[in-house]
């Protein structure tokens, strides 16, 4: 069965319906006790780009394997960039996205860095609208759940030489999800990594590319084995300045109410949550300073009580308190190891806006249905 979903902005997406879509009962079963990123909806959006035709063939098709040639460039040279954002079910039944244009624009910046073609903001928005409209029943309504959206670009050029791909596919998949860290707002422990770096000057730290994550798995595994939840990376040039976690930006709260976060320097991924948190803190009359933060300053500050809270933030895990930080030469508890008041308040404020429990004075929420 084929029809089209017209779009108010971009071009229309053709719909090829999944003949094996979940029944209402099967879907209800899958939406029970949701974890993060394990369940997927019945369909996905797709747009193909070729050097000759540009972006074309906008469609929604059954979710499933994507056959590709074994010489496809993504499989050899990691020509991949992605995004992550959530669709929230409000109490009135409507479905809203959080600042989706920021993700669309960041996907373009990431694509540029990896010599992939940029998808227009209109196509990005139209793909989400078309998929979410079709899959609206998959947007869960239990507390702390959402439909996690994963747009990505892959080079599907069939060529083993190294060049900017002449064929690329954009795909959008959707995963009804529960909390990234189950068990409510529980502080995480962080290992400060000394041997490995996430990004370096002139590298790809500012691009949301899969390769950055592949390189983070070995240090992440080592941290798990030591009993830590996450890794904090330092700058590659001096090994002394805080950058970010593997997939989250970091903040430190001082006893005088000032909040510090590493400045965007080309190595750090510029989080949508990060910029939203800065805005929310400033509107609570807290002073936010974006600058270099040395590990020595952070560690000393935590030890002498100058720094009272540390938290990490990103779309998947929202705002997550850090209760303990350690490395080869130190091990400190942040505050009393429990979520601090600034962390708890900004998390509550942000999620209240996202789930429609509070007014959105910023125009951040974007209605889809």
Ligand X SMILES: *Cc1c(COP(=O)(O)O)cnc(C)c1O
Tokens standing for residue 198: 């996430």
Least separation in angstroms between residue 224's CB and ligand X is 18
Q: Which is nearer to ligand X, 261 or 308 (CB)?
A: 261
Q: Which is nearer to ligand X, 129 or 198 (CB)?
A: 198
Least separation in angstroms between residue 354's CB and ligand X is 12
Catalog residues that contact ligand X under the rule CB under 6 A: 84, 208, 244, 247-249, 269, 271-274, 314-315
Taking the C-alpha atoms of residue 137 and residue 285, their distance in angstroms, rounded to an integer, is 40
Tokens standing for residue 253: 């709260």
Q: Which is nearer to ligand X, 7 or 267 (CB)?
A: 267
Taking the C-alpha atoms of residue 333 and residue 321, their distance in angstroms, rounded to an integer, is 12
Least separation in angstroms between residue 32's CB and ligand X is 26
Q: Which is nearer to ligand X, 73 or 273 (CB)?
A: 273
Q: Which is nearer to ligand X, 197 or 274 (CB)?
A: 274
What sign results for the dihedral spanned by CA atoms 3, 6, 12, 15?
A: negative
């Amino acid at each position: 069965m084929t029809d089209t979903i017209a779009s108010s902005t971009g071009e229309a997406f053709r719909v090829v319906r999944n003949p094996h879509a979940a029944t209402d009962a099967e879907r209800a079963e899958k939406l029970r006790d949701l974890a993060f990123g394990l369940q997927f909806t019945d369909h996905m959006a797709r747009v193909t780009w070729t050097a000759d035709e540009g972006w074309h063939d906008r469609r929604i098709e059954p979710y499933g394997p994507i056959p590709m040639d074994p010489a496809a460039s993504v499989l050899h040279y990691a020509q991949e960039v992605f995004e992550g954002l959530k669709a929230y079910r409000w109490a009135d039944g409507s479905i809203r996205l959080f600042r989706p244009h920021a993700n669309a624009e960041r996907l373009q910046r990431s694509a540029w860095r990896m010599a992939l073609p940029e998808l227009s903001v209109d196509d990005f928005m139209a793909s989400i609208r078309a998929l979410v409209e079709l899959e609206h029943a998959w947007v869960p309504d239990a507390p702390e759940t959402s439909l996690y959206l994963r747009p990505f670009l892959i080079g599907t050029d069939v060529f083993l030489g190294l060049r900017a791909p002449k064929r690329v596919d954009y795909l959008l998949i959707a995963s009804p999800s529960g909390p990234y860290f189950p068990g409510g707002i529980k502080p995480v422990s962080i290992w400060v990594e000394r041997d490995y770096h996430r990004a370096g000057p002139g590298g790809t730290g500012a691009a949301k590319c899969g390769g950055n994550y592949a390189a983070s798995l070995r240090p992440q595994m080592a941290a798990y084995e030591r009993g830590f939840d996450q890794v904090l990376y330092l700058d590659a040039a001096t090994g002394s300045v805080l950058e970010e976690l593997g997939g989250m930006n970091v903040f430190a709260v001082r006893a005088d109410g000032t909040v510090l976060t590493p400045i965007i320097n080309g190595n750090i991924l510029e989080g949508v949550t990060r910029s939203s948190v800065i805005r929310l803190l400033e509107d609570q009359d807290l002073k936010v300073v974006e600058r270099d933060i040395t590990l020595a300053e952070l560690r000393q500050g935590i030890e002498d009580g100058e720094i009272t809270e540390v938290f990490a933030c990103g779309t998947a895990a929202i705002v997550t308190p850090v209760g303990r930080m350690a490395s080869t030469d130190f091990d400190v508890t942040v505050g009393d190891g429990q979520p601090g008041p600034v962390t708890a308040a900004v998390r509550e404020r942000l999620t209240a806006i996202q789930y429609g429990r509070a007014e959105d004075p910023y125009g951040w929420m974007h209605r889809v249905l």
